[in-house]
Structure 1
Amino acid sequence: MKKGIGKSHSKIILIGEHSVVYGYPAIAIPLKKIEIECVVEEAKTSFFYNKTDTLSVAVFTALRHLKKENAKIKYKVVSQIPPKRGMGSSAAVSIAAIRAVFDYFEENLDDELLEKLVHTAEIVAHKTPSGLDAKTCLSDKAIKFIKNKGFSYIDLNLDAYLVIADTGIYGNTGEAIQNVKNLGNKADISLKKLGELTDEITKILTKNIESKEEKVDKIGKIMTKANTELGNLNITIEKTDLFVKTAIENGASGAKISGGGLGGCVIALAKNLEIVEKIKDELLKCGAENIWVEKI
């Protein structure tokens, strides 16, 4: 049976969530081990478009571009990326689905067109996507993003490990953004500080002054400071605070909540695999639903 296959990987925000909305930079990291695969196959009936479903929107976007809206196809997805955790599941689904449709019809798909189609699908699904999720899910490198200014690539090359721990609680970006707005001018200090902390990490990553170990120590401390500021913005919850505290107590150079907030994931920076294992063991005891490790 004829089939088309498309894949994508996940992503996580290293620093800059929420402050990025106000014009400050954010840095996102591709998580190449955490993947999603979409398979498109022949069907007996025409494709049914559901505009409330991210996957369906992505498939339709690809079909419309190819002028095959009435194609008789069906699709299925196998995903390692949990939804609503700040890991780019929506963008990754769109990328995998569009790749699968093009593969099924044996059509060429370059990165420029793919990114354009993903952005189109994301607009339908999310109204005003920044493009950061899609860009990072398409990238092998970390990406720095500034609203209305664009993207640039960053080489991490830290020889360290990022531990990503899922709290098992859906993040709620909309409510978190409202929490920040509700603070009014009181939020300005923390937002500015988050922007400054992101700039500090950028300088550490782009200037080869310190050793890799010194870089990891400094970046870790900055991550923990960022978590404090996100707490001041009413973005963290008791479980994420527990995860951050536990990771640091077990050797992490630093840790913070990542993504929209009020749930989702906590990330911790570790110098070596021995520390990684300690962090993993203790976070599982604290109720982590899943844990991934990415070398950075």
Structure 2
Amino acid sequence: MKKGIGKSHSKIILIGEHSVVYGYPAIAIPLKKIEIECVVEEAKTSFFYNKTDTLSVAVFTALRHLKKENAKIKYKVTSQIPPKRGMGSSAAVSIAAIRAVFDYFEENLDDELLEKLVHTAEIVAHKTPSGLDAKTCLSDKAIKFIKNKGFSYIDLNLDAYLVIADTGIYGNTGEAIQNVKNLGNKADISLKKLGELTDEITKILTKNIESKEEKVDKIGKIMTKANTELGNLNITIEKTDLFVKTAIENGASGAKISGGGLGGCVIALAKNLEIVEKIKDELLKCGAENIWVEKI
């Protein structure tokens, strides 16, 4: 049977969530081991378009570009990326689906066209996507992003590990954004500080002055400071605070929430695998639903 296959990977924000909305920089990291696969096959009936479903929107976007809107196809997705955790689930689904449709029809798909089609699908799903999720889910390298200014790639090469712990609670980006808005001018100090902290991490990553161990220590401390500022913006919760505290008590160089907030994931930076195992064990005891480890 004819088959089209498309894949993509996850992403996580290292630093700069929320402040990025206000024009400050953010850094996102691709999570290459956390994948999603979409398979497109022949069907007996025409494709049914559901504009409230991200996957359906992505498939339709690809079909429309190929002028095959009435194609008789069905699709199936296998995903390791949990939804609503700030891990790029929506963008990754769109990438995998569009790749699968093009593969099914044996059409060429370069990265520029793919990014354009993903952005079109994401606008339907998210109204005003920054493009950061899609860019990072397409990338092998970390990305620095500034709204209305663009992207640049960063080589991490820290020989360290990022521990990503899922609280099991859906993040609520909409409510979190509203919490920041409700603070009015009071939010400005924390947003500016988050921008400064992101710039500090960028300098550490792009200058080869310190040893890798010193870099990890400094970046970890900055991550923890960023978490304090995110707390000041009213987007942390009791469980994420517990995860951050637990990770640091068990050897993490630093830890913070990642993504929209009010749930979602906590990330912790660890120098070696021994520390990783300690952090994992304790976070599982604290109720982590899932834990991933990415070498960075």
Q: Normalising by structure 2, what TM-score?
A: 1.00
Shift of 1:252: 0.2
Write the distance in 1 (CA, Å) between the matches of 2:199 and 2:84.
Answer: 27
Write the distance in 2 (CA, Å) between the matches of 1:178 and 1:65.
Answer: 36
Shift of 1:69: 0.2
State the SS of the aligned residue for 1:143. Answer: strand
Q: Deviations over 1:148-173 (max 9, x none)?
A: 00000000000000000000000000
Q: Deviations over 1:115-173 (max 9, x none)?
A: 00000000011110000000000000000000000000000000000000000000000
Write the distance in 2 (CA, Å) between the matches of 1:207 and 1:108.
Answer: 39
Q: Deviations over 1:86-130 (max 9, x none)?
A: 000000000000000000000000000000000000001111000
Gaps (5+ residues) in structure 2?
none
State the SS of the aligned residue for 1:186. Answer: helix
Write the distance in 1 (CA, Å) between the matches of 2:112 and 2:22.
Answer: 27
Shift of 1:13: 0.2
Matched, 1:46 2:46: yes
Q: What's the counterpart of residue 216 of structure 2?
A: 216
Q: What's the counterpart of residue 236 of structure 2?
A: 236
Q: Deviations over 1:52-95 (max 9, x none)?
A: 00000000000000000000000000000000000000000000
Matched, 1:273 2:285: no
RMSD: 0.3
Structure 1 stretches of 4+ moved >3 Å = none
State the SS of the aligned residue for 2:103. Answer: helix
Q: What's the counterpart of residue 35 of structure 1?
A: 35
Shift of 1:228: 0.2
State the SS of the aligned residue for 2:151. Answer: strand
Q: What's the counterpart of residue 146 of structure 1?
A: 146
Shift of 1:19: 0.3
Shift of 1:25: 0.1
Q: Deviations over 1:197-243 (max 9, x none)?
A: 00000000000000000000000000000000000000100000000
Shift of 1:294: 0.1
Q: What's the counterpart of residue 289 of structure 1?
A: 289
Q: What's the counterpart of residue 83 of structure 2?
A: 83
Write the distance in 2 (CA, Å) between the matches of 1:159 and 1:38.
Answer: 32
Q: Deviations over 1:241-293 (max 9, x none)?
A: 00000000000000000000000000000000000000000000000000000
Tell me the matched-pair count. Answer: 296
Write the distance in 1 (CA, Å) between the matches of 2:195 and 2:259.
Answer: 15
Write the distance in 2 (CA, Å) between the matches of 1:60 and 1:180.
Answer: 35
State the SS of the aligned residue for 1:45. Answer: coil
Q: Deviations over 1:19-74 (max 9, x none)?
A: 00000000000000000000000000000000000000000000000000000000
Alignment of 1:235-274 (within 5 A): 235-274=235-274
Percent identity of equivalent pairs: 100
